[in-house]
Structure 1
């Protein structure tokens, strides 16, 4: 009985968090419009870039590919015999679709115990952290969205083995991520001044265009 009550409470809390999460941006093809709807996302991505080095546009291209900016998305749950809910294909969850094992590594190494996969601040920081690790371990340039995504999707061991070379679908997706990152970057150059130094406490010389 106690376990049942706790399950109900936990379900209610999770549902409430989901309701409080922002809706996905209406125009996901334009990073300027994304940040106009959610300007704090720019702050999070910029902080991640400053901490880890992955460009803002690349982070947003990853989030688009992984979750289409949906905060609580998971892989679909199959149904056994059409009536019994079965195990999901992976533990991927949240904006960055981070799986349980690597998210645990991130929490221990950089994110802290209160990091949440459903919060854009932590999702962008996770992407930056992961890409920094790919840069340091696999030598992938932080200016190379295609191979950063291949390492992100295949994991360090899979990337080092070159497992993606026999997976044309994954290669195609990685190229799409790269194209979106370049497109977002070009768009951001036209509007970034709207988001930098917009807070009243941000002023020269502590904040510069």
Structure 2
């Protein structure tokens, strides 16, 4: 292989990798997200079946947490306002899962190789967390508002109503609920089309 072809192949591979991890172009339209990233749709259906969660709620939570960025991190902390000194928390990835709860997820599910920057693993984590929220605190899986408060505050924090002391958090949970409802309406309108498979969808996009 010539040097030029090798460079071209490397560039193409890099571009494909970037497309695979880049946020969706239309994050406010769930149907557009699935048409752009059909592997995300496949992962969403697996999570729905495994954990009994509606597709729209994990997506609304992940949008709020990371904006669908695979490498999202919390802000840095600074010593004396100058020297970088770690981060606000260990939350990272699509789902902004912290180290402790991510390790609990991996142990609980046997998915020892799960990666927070892998979308399939991230949405499965959110589904697992929602299922635990229902079991522990009895929050309905379609209740995006209550599910998000559990997600943000933890199961114990939710029971202790720690969110009541954070007036900024309740409107954020309301935004997650509104987005979940919007995604649900959108998905209802394209679910049948998405179910026909990628080849049928391909010809409709042309």
**Helix, strand or coil: the match of 1:69?**
coil
Q: Which whole-Å CA distance do the structure 2 matches of 1:111 and 1:131 have between them?
A: 18
- Structure-to-structure mapping, 1:111-190, within 5 angstroms: 112-190=111-189
Q: Who is 1:91 aligned against?
A: 90
TM superposition shift of 1:23: 1.0
Deviating beyond 4 angstroms after TM superposition, the runs of 4 or more aligned structure 1 residues are 18-21
Q: Which whole-Å CA distance do the structure 1 matches of 2:114 and 2:84 have between them?
A: 28
Q: Deviations over 1:102-152 (max 9, x none)?
A: 000000011511101001101110000001001001011111110000001
Q: Deviations over 1:147-198 (max 9, x none)?
A: 0000010001100011112222111111110000000000001112232251
**Helix, strand or coil: the match of 1:96?**
coil
- Structure-to-structure mapping, 1:51-130, within 5 angstroms: 51-110=50-109, 112-130=111-129
**Helix, strand or coil: the match of 1:168?**
coil
Stretch moving more, 75-84 or 115-124? 75-84
TM-score, normalising length: structure 2: 0.84
Q: Which whole-Å CA distance do the structure 2 matches of 1:92 and 1:99 have between them?
A: 4
User: What stretches of structure 1 of length at least 5 have no aligned partner?
Assistant: 1-17, 201-209
Q: Which whole-Å CA distance do the structure 2 matches of 1:29 and 1:199 have between them?
A: 21
TM superposition shift of 1:87: 1.6
**Helix, strand or coil: the match of 1:87?**
strand
Q: Which whole-Å CA distance do the structure 2 matches of 1:90 and 1:111 have between them?
A: 25
Q: What RMSD in Å do the two structures reach over aligned CA positions?
A: 1.7
User: What stretches of structure 2 of length at least 5 have no aligned partner?
Assistant: 1-16, 200-206
Give aligned pairs, total.
183
TM superposition shift of 1:19: 5.0
Are residues 46 and 113 of structure 1, via their aligned partners in 2, closer, same or farther at CA, if it must alter by over 3 Å? Answer: same
TM-score, normalising length: structure 1: 0.83
Q: Who is 2:7 aligned against?
A: none
Q: Who is 1:204 aligned against?
A: none
TM superposition shift of 1:27: 1.1
TM superposition shift of 1:37: 1.2
Q: Who is 2:13 aligned against?
A: none
